[in-house]
Each structure stands twice: as structure tokens, then as C-alpha cells.
Structure 1
Amino acid sequence: MEETHEHLEARAAQLISAGSLFHGRGWMPATSGSLSARLDDHHMVITASGHHKGDLDQNDLMLVDLDGHVLSTGKQPAAETFLHIILYRRSADIGAVIHTHSVPAMVLSRVVVEAGLTLAGDDVLKALPGCTTHHDSVTLPIFPNDGNIPQLAAQVDDHMNRHPDTPGYLIEGHGLYTWGRDVTEARHHVEAFEFLLDCELQRRRFDP
């Protein structure tokens, strides 16, 4: 576990930085949202429940294995921890998962009546996997908010079995989930999605 502990310190620092950035932009108000990073094939580090994302330190993060067992004594994982776990289980190429709780993600997840929200027509799309021009598009599936997290996780997993290139998703009234090969890439995806969601929300105000 020495290698895991070495990764833990580095990954924790990256998640702390990301939490501060996203809180400052209004995407993780108060204690909302969650951030995690893979440590190895069996472990991840994730923000503990109830901690302010703008003021994170090492004590606000915890070690969890990919079976859902808490390995940090005295710490409570966020309710949505299993939504992170299922992504790490899906692919070794997923190295970080981030959940934000911004106004655009919240509003659009509640007003879009379709099963998914399609984003298109902006150069920022090129920051997302599979997009090379503004002519490309990305569809974020929208899942009903379900307090039964294992059941919700199963819905997400089933969707991704059918659409393995999905780069993120929305939960109604709960926000955005996206991921990347590492924390840096996941941060880029968050920034791209949040910009595109904000543009979509503004566009709908002018063209309802």
C-alpha cells in the first residue's frame, strides 16, 4: 500500500485544488458536489460527506475501496459514492470523477422534458472526448433523482452499456457527473460542460 499512499497524497492535493476552483465558480455551493480519483485497481480517494468544497484539506478526503468499503476510520462517505465506484469499475481508463451542482445543471435537468440534453454548435465541444469541431454534438442523459443510489447506479450503468461513449450525465435536480483519465482531464470536462450548460440555459431564455 506504500504506492497507494503516495498516490493518495498527490491525488488529494489535486482534488482539493479542483474543489476550491469549482466552489469559487459557483458550481459546488456549500457542501454540495463530490470529487474522487482512482488510486489503483481497487481503491479511490473521495470527498467525505458534509464538507465544504471551497475549504477542503486532507482531512476532508477519505479512502474507499471499489467494493464500497470505507477504509478511513471515522469518516462518512457521500451518499453518491457508489455512482463514482461504478464508473471506476467500468474502465481502468477512468481516473477521476467529478459531480458539480451548478445553477445551469440544476435548472436544465429539471426543465428538459426529453430523456437527454443535446449540446451543439460551440467550439468548446472540442474539449470533450469524440468532438473535433463545433459541428459535433454531445447528449447528456438525464436520470430521475432517486434516493436509492444502487438503483440509480444500475440505471446509469445500463445506459452506459448501451452508450459506452457517454462523457457525462445529469441527475434531475442534482447536477452534473463527468470524468476523465485523470483529475486534470476531468476538470477540463467539467469546465467545458458547465460553459456549454450555461450557454444552453441563456439560449433558452431568448429562444424558449
Structure 2
Amino acid sequence: MTGTVTTGAPRTVSRGGALAAEAARFAALGWMRGTSGNLSVVTGRDPLRLLVTASGLDKGELGARDVVPVDAEGRAVPGAGAAGKPSAEAALHARVVRLTGAGAVVHVHTVASVAMGRRRPGGIVFRDLEMLKGIGRSAHDEEVVLPVIGNSQDMRVLGDRLEEALNPLVPGVVVAGHGLYTWGADLGEARRHTEVVEWLLELELAEERGR
């Protein structure tokens, strides 16, 4: 596999290794099949800089250098030494960071997120579940709505839809027919939020199939 060369700085490689490890974890769960999905981590705020997994690579086989530094618009940073190209959705990662202050963003292509996005285009409602504590919500007597937005190949359009639908109480959004975006203060929190929201989606899908 041909990797994406970064600046070679130990800190960049270390962050790239962390992204590769998280990608391998999600790929093992079947949430990043083939080359689908992408992850990012913030490396600077002024100006905004992110490391994003490179496009077109198997997310279960990434190495520490298979990442691309990008700017606030999701464009590869000139002179940063990146030989590959960032994910096509890097601009949406940057938009999420700007809107939420997140330190890391995860995008996975799961069956439950795609299926429930089609079934509940107006948003997916959860309540009275202990698992909601994993995203900082109450397990009882609180209605939690996970937004669902229509897909677009234009990242500006998709970003506008996300901004309009964003629920500040929920660290995630479903893109109909596409997959799930989640985020957190760092990679660890973003992973936990992804696992929790995906569990909720899988439960909702299972219950709907059983009706």
C-alpha cells in the first residue's frame, strides 16, 4: 500500500498513528468497509488545521503517514509535504469543527445509520435509554433527537444543511443514504460518541424491524 507522506514531524506521525488505530478499530467493526469513511483530528486552531485520513485507502490498513494536513476549507495545506489527497469530505470535517469546537470528527458508513436515515428523514428520536448517558444526556424523561440531513456531493451544500439541522445537545448527525458523522473533544471522545450513537441506531432499527 502506498502511504501518504506528511511532514515527517514526530508529532504529526504520532497523530497519524492515532487516526490509523481508530480507523482500524472501526474497520474491524464493519463500519468502514472498503475505503469508506474518514477521520480527522485538529492540530491547530489559529489558523485551523486538521489531519484527515487520505482518500482511496483501506481504512483497516492505514499507517501513521496515511493522513493529509488540511486547512479550514478542507484543502491540503501547501508545502506540508502531503503526497496524497485528503478525503473528499475533509471540508465537512472542518465545518463541523468550526461549528462545534470539536477536536476530532468521525465519519462511518454503517447499515443502521443509512437505514434509519431513510426511515426517519425528520430526525431520529431516542428516550428512556441508559445508553444516552454516553452522549451526556439523561437516561429518563428527556427526548433526544439525532438530526438527519439530505445528502449532497457538494460539501458546501452539505455543510449548510448540517449547520441548519445541528442539535447542540447531540454530538452527531446522520446523512441520509450515506452514513453517520460524530465528534468529540478528542479522538477518544469522538470514538465513544460514535459507538454510543451507533448502538442507539442499531437498537432503533432492530425494534422497527420487529414491529
Q: TM-score, normalised by structure 2?
A: 0.87
In the aligned structure 2, how far is the partner of 1:67 from the partner of 1:174? 21
Matched, 1:120 2:127: yes
How big is the alpha-carbon RMSD for the aligned residues of Structure 1 and Structure 2?
1.8
In the aligned structure 2, how far is the partner of 1:118 from the partner of 1:16? 32
> Which one of 166, 173, 178 corresponds to residue 182 of structure 2?
178
* Cα deviation, residue 159, structure 1: 2.6
After superposition, the Cα gap between the structure-2 partners of 1:111 and 1:101, relative to the gap in structure 1 and judged at 3 Å, is same
Q: Which has the higher helix share?
A: 1
Unpaired stretches in structure 1, ≥5 consecutive residues: none
Aligned residue identity for 2:172:
G
* Cα deviation, residue 132, structure 1: 3.1
Larger displacement relative to structure 2 (168-177 or 133-142): 133-142
In the aligned structure 1, how far is the partner of 2:89 from the partner of 2:160? 13
Q: How does 1:46-65 map to 2 (within 5 A)?
A: 46-65=52-71
Matched, 1:34 2:49: no
| 1:27 and 1:101 in contact (8 A); partners too | yes
Aligned residue identity for 2:35:
T
> Which one of 203, 206, 209 corresponds to residue 205 of structure 1?
209
* Cα deviation, residue 115, structure 1: 1.3
Aligned residue identity for 1:62:
V
* Cα deviation, residue 136, structure 1: 3.3
* Cα deviation, residue 6, structure 1: 4.9
Q: TM-score, normalised by structure 1?
A: 0.88
The superposition leaves residues 161-201 of structure 1 with CA deviations (integer Å, 9 ceiling, x where unpaired) of xx433321001111000000000000000110111111111
Unpaired stretches in structure 2, ≥5 consecutive residues: 1-8
The superposition leaves residues 114-136 of structure 1 with CA deviations (integer Å, 9 ceiling, x where unpaired) of 4111122321111103x132443
> Which one of 162, 167, 173 corresponds to residue 169 of structure 1?
173
* Cα deviation, residue 46, structure 1: 0.6
% of aligned pairs identical?
34
After superposition, the Cα gap between the structure-2 partners of 1:206 and 1:164, relative to the gap in structure 1 and judged at 3 Å, is same
* Cα deviation, residue 109, structure 1: 1.2
| 2:67 and 2:86 in contact (8 A); partners too | no
Matched, 1:84 2:93: yes
> Which one of 109, 134, 137 corresponds to residue 117 of structure 2?
109
Secondary structure of the structure 1 residue equivalent to 2:65: helix
| 2:74 and 2:93 in contact (8 A); partners too | no
Aligned residue identity for 2:86:
P
After superposition, the Cα gap between the structure-2 partners of 1:134 and 1:192, relative to the gap in structure 1 and judged at 3 Å, is farther
> Which one of 146, 158, 162 corresponds to residue 156 of structure 1?
162
* Cα deviation, residue 145, structure 1: 1.1
In the aligned structure 2, how far is the partner of 1:11 from the partner of 1:73? 15
| 1:95 and 1:181 in contact (8 A); partners too | yes
| 2:16 and 2:64 in contact (8 A); partners too | yes
